C-alpha cells in the first residue's frame, strides 16, 4: 500500500500517520501538506529516520503537484485530511475554505479517476448535518450546514458522491465528531482553553455554554478512518463518533479542575455566529461499528491526559501562541470581548 495522506502535518492527519504506521509497518506514507498556520512538521516528529515516509509541501488544489506526486510515488490510496478546519475563521473569511475544501477535493477526485487510485477516503465532519435537537444523525440524514466551513465540507462531500455516481471513482466519506487530543492547534476549544488557563488568562464561553458536542479522541478518529480505508465500501458514508455528548460548560469544568483554575477566569461572551451556532451535534456510528471499529479511549481520562500533554509540551505550543497569525486571530475574534487580557 502506497498512501498519500493530505493534511498529514495537521492535527488528525498526523495521528492518522502514526496509526497507519503501527497497523502497516511496510506501507509507504507520503504526506502532502501546504503547511498553513495549522500545519506543523513537529506533529510528524515520530517519523524522523523512517525511510518509508516522505513529506512534500504543496496544495491539494494544485493539479501539477498532486498528479506529479501520485505519478512519481506510485500512489495506490489517498486519504484526504487537508482542509481549512476552523469554523470561527470561516466566519471572518471563507475564501480559503472554498478553495481547499471544495476545489481541493475536486482536484483529488480528478486525480483519483485519472490514475485509477484503488481507494480515496474523504475525511469530513458531522457538522455537515447541521444541528439536531434530539436523537442522532445517521449517514442518511440530510445535509444542512450552517457555517461557511460546514458548507464547504458539504460541498466536498457532494463532489465525492457525484464522482462515485458518475465515474465509479472508489471514494468513501467519513464524518467525524468534535475531536480532541495532543497536537491540536490551540484555536479549538480544548487546547485554546487549556493553554490560556495554564497561563492564568481569561477564556471566552459563548452564551451560557450549554451547547452540546459529541467528542472523540484523535486516535479513535484516526483508527476509524483506517477502518474505512481498509474495509469501507466505495460510495458509502461512515460516521465516526463516540456517542460521548458533553455541554461546553462541562468541558470547561474539567479544564478548570485540571489546570487548578476557577470560574472567575471564564467570561461569557455573545456568540458572533448569531443563528449559525449549532446547538447540538450527535450522530450514530453504528454503521462503522458494524465493520468492527470501536473507540478505545475513555473521555474523562483522556481529556485530563490531553491537558497534561499541553502542560508538558509548552515547547510545542508556545511558539504557536507567540506567532503573528495566532495573535491576530485572537485579537480580531476575541479582542472586543476579552479586552486587554489576550
Ligand atoms: N478537528 C475536528 O474536530 C474535526 C472533526 C471532524 C472532522 N474534521 C476534519 O478532519 C480533517 C482534519 O482536521 P484537523 O482538525 O486535523 O485540521 P487541521 O487544521 O489541524 O489540519 C489541516 C491540515 O491541512 C493542511 N492544509 C490546509 N489547506 C491545505 C491545502 N490547500 N493543501 C494541502 N494541505 C492543506 C494544513 O497545513 C494542516 O496541516 C479536516 O478535513 C476536518 O474538516 C475535523
| Per-residue pLDDT reduced to its tens digit, 17-29 | 999 999 999 999 9
Is the pLDDT score of 339 beyond 80?
no
Residue ranges of domains in the chain: 2-180+216-240
| C-beta 81 within 6 A of ligand 1 | yes
The confidence band for 273, taking pLDDT boundaries of 50, 70 and 90, is low
Q: What is d(CA 51, CA 48) in angstroms, rounded to the nearest whole number?
A: 8
Q: How many angstroms separate the most distant Cα atoms in the chain?
A: 57
Is the pLDDT score of 243 beyond 90?
no
pLDDT score of 338: 74
pLDDT digits (tens, 9 = 90+) for 287-297: 999 999 999 99
| C-beta 187 within 6 A of ligand 1 | no
**Sign of the alpha-carbon dihedral angle for 82, 311, 316, 296:** negative
Q: Which residue has the cell 500533554?
A: 309
Which residue CA neighbors atom 11 of ligand 1 most closely? 81
State the fold for domain 2-180+216-240. Rossmann fold (3.40.50)
Do the Cβ atoms of 156 and 124 come closer than 8 Å?
yes
- Say whether 126 is catalytic: yes
- Give SS3 for 124: strand
Residue 339 CB: number of other CB atoms within 10 A?
10
Q: Which residue has the cell 450527535?
A: 282
Q: What is d(CA 207, CA 195) in angstroms, rounded to the nearest whole number?
A: 21
Strand partners, 176: 125, 240
pLDDT score of 112: 98
Which residue CA neighbors atom 26 of ligand 1 most closely? 82
Q: Phi, psi (5° rounding) for residue 289? A: -60, -35
More confident residue, 88 or 220: 220
- Say whether 206 is catalytic: no
Is the pLDDT score of 31 beyond 70?
yes
| C-beta 123 within 6 A of ligand 1 | yes
Mean pLDDT calculated for residue range 35-58: 97
Is the pLDDT score of 275 beyond 70?
no
- Say whether 281 is catalytic: no
CA of 8 to the centre of ligand 1 (A): 8
Do the Cβ atoms of 86 and 129 come closer than 8 Å?
no
Is the pLDDT score of 276 beyond 60?
no
* Residue of 82, 174, 248 to mutate, ligand 1, most atoms within 8 A of C-beta: 82
Grid coordinates belonging to 229:
480505508
Do the Cβ atoms of 149 and 85 come closer than 8 Å?
yes
Mean pLDDT calculated for residue range 87-111: 94
| C-beta 216 within 6 A of ligand 1 | no
- Calculate the average pLDDT of the chain: 94
| 92 alpha carbon, distance to own chain's centre | 19
Q: What is d(CA 326, CA 43) in angstroms, rounded to the nearest whole number?
A: 17
Mean pLDDT calculated for residue range 123-145: 93
| C-beta 125 within 6 A of ligand 1 | yes
Amino acid at each position: 500500500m502506497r498512501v498519500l495522506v493530505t493534511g498529514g502535518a495537521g492535527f488528525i492527519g498526523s495521528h492518522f500517520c502514526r496509526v497507519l504506521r503501527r497497523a502497516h509497518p511496510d506501507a509507504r506514507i507520503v504526506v502532502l501538506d501546504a503547511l498553513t498556520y495549522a500545519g506543523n512538521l513537529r506533529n510528524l516528529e515520530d517519523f524522523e529516520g523512517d525511510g518509508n515516509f516522505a513529506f512534500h509541501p504543496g496544495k491539494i488544489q494544485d493539479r501539477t503537484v498532486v498528479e506529479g506526486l501520485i505519478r512519481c510515488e506510485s500512489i495506490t490510496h489517498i486519504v484526504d485530511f487537508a482542509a481549512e478546519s476552523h469554523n470561527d475563521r470561516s466566519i471572518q473569511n471563507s475564501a480559503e475554505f472554498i478553495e481547499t475544501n471544495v476545489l481541493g477535493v475536486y482536484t483529488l477526485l480528478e486525480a483519483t479517476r485519472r490514475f485509477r487510485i484503488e481507494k480515496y477516503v474523504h475525511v469530513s465532519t458531522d457538522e455537515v448535518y447541521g444541528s439536531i435537537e434530539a436523537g442522532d444523525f445517521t449517514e442518511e440524514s440530510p445535509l444542512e450546514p450552517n457555517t461557511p466551513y460546514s458548507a464547504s465540507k458539504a460541498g466536498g462531500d457532494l463532489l465525492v458522491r457525484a464522482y462515485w455516481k458518475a465515474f465509479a471513482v472508489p471514494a468513501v466519506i467519513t464524518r467525524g465528531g468534535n475531536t480532541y487530543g495532543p497536537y491540536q492547534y490551540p484555536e479549538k476549544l480544548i487546547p485554546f482553553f487549556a493553554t490560556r488557563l495554564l497561563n492564568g488568562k481569561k477564556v471566552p464561553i459563548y452564551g451560557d455554554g450549554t451547547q452540546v458536542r459529541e467528542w472523540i479522541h484523535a486516535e479513535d478518529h484516526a483508527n476509524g478512518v483506517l477502518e474505512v480505508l481498509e474495509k469501507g465500501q466505495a460510495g458509502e458514508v461512515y460516521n465516526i463518533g463516540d456517542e460521548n455528548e458533553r455541554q461546553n460548560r462541562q468541558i470547561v469544568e474539567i479544564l478548570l479542575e485540571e489546570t487548578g483554575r476557577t470560574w472567575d477566569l471564564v467570561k461569557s461572551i455573545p456568540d458572533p455566529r448569531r443563528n449559525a451556532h449549532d446547538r447540538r451535534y450527535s450522530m450514530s456510528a453504528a454503521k462503522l461499528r458494524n465493520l468492527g471499529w470501536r473507540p478505545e479511549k475513555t473521555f474523562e481520562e483522556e481529556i485530563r491526559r490531553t491537558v497534561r500533554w499541553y502542560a508538558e509540551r509548552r515547547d510545542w505550543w508556545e511558539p504557536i501562541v507567540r506567532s503573528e497569525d495566532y495573535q491576530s486571530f485572537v485579537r480580531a475574534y476575541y479582542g472586543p470581548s476579552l479586552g486587554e487580557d489576550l
